[in-house]
Structure 1
């Protein structure tokens, strides 16, 4: 099937959304019992970690962990937002710079200014988007980012989304309650799909959509650590307690360029595999043998693929043994945990 299809369904009783591109699973969102990224709490400062500028906080969902705590003392109340998922047994990662993100706009209370996504390059369209903003709101009280999805959106839809997010921001920022409380629930998969999968697509909402559109078959394949790279090459992605190990193999190809071809195929496909499997943290790539002169090209190809991925990943560098190290945000829980 050619084109993009978004399927909204449930998996093992959990709300889930799948994005199929040209008949291949490209992204998968599954709800969890853990606090979702984007959740906002009124939290209570608990105890600092001496010498590290960090503090544990109390929230209704358990302990949270905050960096950069200058001027904060135990017992203080503050707004924090969940940034990702915690490792087992660890505190929820949060930040104290809350933002309100929707399909067309992001409201940034702690970063004033109005910005239009740089991916919208048509100057006339940029001016039209700004005109919608100024026609909708006078004396904008917060920072606002107009997302790339505004480029082909109707003015009315943009205005409605802007007013909704500004209203939510004002409600949270002007909250006069006390004590630990969850103020905003992080977006669930169906809403996340609407918010972030903005390119034109067919929408399937009927029950059983995962089965009829081969999503279940694709999920079954993800339970294996192996994925194909083409040309007989393959790779294994295997999480451990310390890191995620990726091993590249050339298969039956014994040509002089086999290793280079396999490694470049990995660079293209790795972000998708990590995204679908919900893997983050420290990633170590054990590449197939290739000449050192090809390292720069591989690095460029991998960085380009990571830039196009929705989850932040940093290329850390090469180790003395020729491995590649990445640091990836824990934006999702591992798929294997959600399928239990």
Structure 2
């Protein structure tokens, strides 16, 4: 599988497209103004305790108070509160936790009112970004993620990814981490650490320790509801989590970001540094690699499949519904079951891609085409699970119900990616009506008066629909073009564009720049 990352930078941030075998599978937008990224740590102030919910609302500077449930406090929340109080009071100066006495774990069935009080300060981490009308979801069980390991304060536990199956490798990684981790810090060993050496693991862990030290340095002086420690940018986060030898290219169109990404890749995986490339073509980056076209085809209510079938995707407040339709794909009665099976397999592959691409979270209900053979239903379920295995978000897939519906729950930590693919009609500007076509040439000539006389433009080009171009050029000698030459004293070029609506027209200067009317 060939993977490519296309990063289109703009003044407002960056749009990141992940391609697998040239097909768009993930799309992320990193906005410069986004201050509530998953992983950011804020110094929150408790605004309200809700005993009925066993939760608290916390001020982290967002327009709506963030939500912190008792189960998200973490077992060592008492230690975190004590540390915060002592560091802000000046009685604890160390940047690490070697000499800090940990408190007992809180009870799993306790009450939040026994732990937190109104106006109390507590460091919290963004667990889920603001979505729709809701504020951020928080956790006070802090962790700092690196490429190979995750650092967890107030713990001594070393956890290893379940995806690392070899007992020999698990023991080797455990011994490496035990020898280098600081006291009172737990470590989660990530899947990508399999086969890595001591030097790589140590460098990653030391980077995380330096981030913790930065957190401890800022904690005494930071104002309540302000950020204490920020997660790295979305671009670097994606590279950290998914960069592997399968990647062939990383293309960027911005010099500064190119240098930043190249340095980051050099730090985390020096052998892949050469895959980072700067896009120097005049053609826009996404257009050059066909990403724009794929975005237009993949988003929207209806998604067409290669074989003629299509998906209808509807969104509600509570869940997402996907309906599979065979479209113009027909079959006789003898192979109707096989036809339904093939359409469903094709749809399952696209649905797995759509969930990643749109970052759809929560409950997803899929209405596949009915199949009567139990073996086909089982094969489809297994195939969907295999396709969803590529998804990095946590998810659960339930077998088909007796109504033939498949239910999926998928982790939702940030707003769903939603791109409007419909365009406003240039002829009616969204009103549903257009000006009388008989007045079209009058409109064009009125604009000639403005462009040629008031703006004093020279060598302009009129671009119109091919039918209108043919009408303008109609005649042997006294065409409309010739009449305009005598009327305005200069020759006006006329070009056609098949993509234009019938009554759509635009003017272009001698430098081929559109003249705004």
Q: TM-score band (shorter)?
A: 0.7 to 0.9
Question: Is 1:93 aligned with 2:134?
Answer: no
3-state SS of 1:289 partner: coil
1:183 alignment counterpart? 228
Distance 1:242 1:170 in 2: 41
Distance 1:279 1:266 in 2: 16
**Higher relative contact order by CA 8 Å / sep ≥ 6: 1 or 2?**
1
Question: Is 1:277 aligned with 2:358?
Answer: yes
Question: Is 1:48 aligned with 2:42?
Answer: no
3-state SS of 1:256 partner: helix
Query: Structure 1 325/119 Cα, relative in aligned 2: closer, same or farther at 3 Å?
Result: closer
Distance 2:323 2:414 in 1: 22
Distance 1:103 1:335 in 2: 25
Q: Report the Cα offset of residue 248 of structure 1.
A: 0.5
Match of 1:335 among 417, 432, 446: 417
Question: Is 1:76 aligned with 2:152?
Answer: no
Match of 2:314 among 230, 233, 238: 238
Describe the superposition over 1:140-193 as per-residue Cα deviations: whole angstroms up to 9, x where unpaired. 431112222223545433322211112223443673346222112233222122
Query: Structure 1 152/56 Cα, relative in aligned 2: closer, same or farther at 3 Å?
Result: same
Task: Give the ranges of 4+ consecutive aligned residues of structure 1 lying more than 6 Å apart after TM superposition.
Answer: none
Alignment size in residue pairs: 338
Query: Structure 1 288/112 Cα, relative in aligned 2: closer, same or farther at 3 Å?
Result: farther
- Which structure has greater helix proportion? 2
Give the root-mean-square deviation of aligned CA atoms: 3.0
Q: Report the Cα offset of residue 97 of structure 1.
A: 1.3
8 Å contact kept, 2:28–2:417 = no
Q: TM-score, normalization: structure 1?
A: 0.86
Question: Is 1:150 aligned with 2:196?
Answer: no
Describe the superposition over 1:245-269 as per-residue Cα deviations: whole angstroms up to 9, x where unpaired. 2111122133223333333333333
Describe the superposition over 1:32-80 as per-residue Cα deviations: whole angstroms up to 9, x where unpaired. 4441111111111111334221221111224101111622222222222
Q: Report the Cα offset of residue 297 of structure 1.
A: 4.0
3-state SS of 1:120 partner: coil
Q: How does 1:59-74 map to 2 (within 5 A)?
A: 59-62=60-63, 63-68=65-70, 70=112, 71-74=115-118
Q: TM-score, normalization: structure 2?
A: 0.59
Query: Structure 1 121/314 Cα, relative in aligned 2: closer, same or farther at 3 Å?
Result: closer
2:464 alignment counterpart? none
Of residues 101-110 and 313-322 in structure 1, the stretch that sits farther from structure 2 once superposed is 313-322
Distance 1:338 1:181 in 2: 34
Distance 1:60 1:235 in 2: 40
Distance 2:225 2:421 in 1: 32
Q: Please, which runs of 5 or more residues in structure 2 have no aligned partner? A: 71-110, 253-277, 423-517
2:391 alignment counterpart? 309
- Which structure has greater strand proportion? 1
8 Å contact kept, 2:130–2:414 = no
2:458 alignment counterpart? none
Question: Is 1:195 aligned with 2:248?
Answer: no
Query: Structure 1 36/263 Cα, relative in aligned 2: closer, same or farther at 3 Å?
Result: same
Q: Report the Cα offset of residue 116 of structure 1.
A: 3.3
Q: Report the Cα offset of residue 6 of structure 1.
A: 1.9
Q: Report the Cα offset of residue 209 of structure 1.
A: 3.6
The structure number with the bigger radius of gyration is 2
Question: Is 1:299 aligned with 2:381?
Answer: yes
2:8 alignment counterpart? 9
Query: Structure 1 281/126 Cα, relative in aligned 2: closer, same or farther at 3 Å?
Result: closer
Q: Please, which runs of 5 or more residues in structure 1 have no aligned partner? A: none
Distance 2:25 2:349 in 1: 13
Question: Is 1:264 aligned with 2:345?
Answer: yes
Question: Is 1:21 aligned with 2:20?
Answer: yes
Query: Structure 1 303/87 Cα, relative in aligned 2: closer, same or farther at 3 Å?
Result: same
Distance 2:399 2:156 in 1: 34
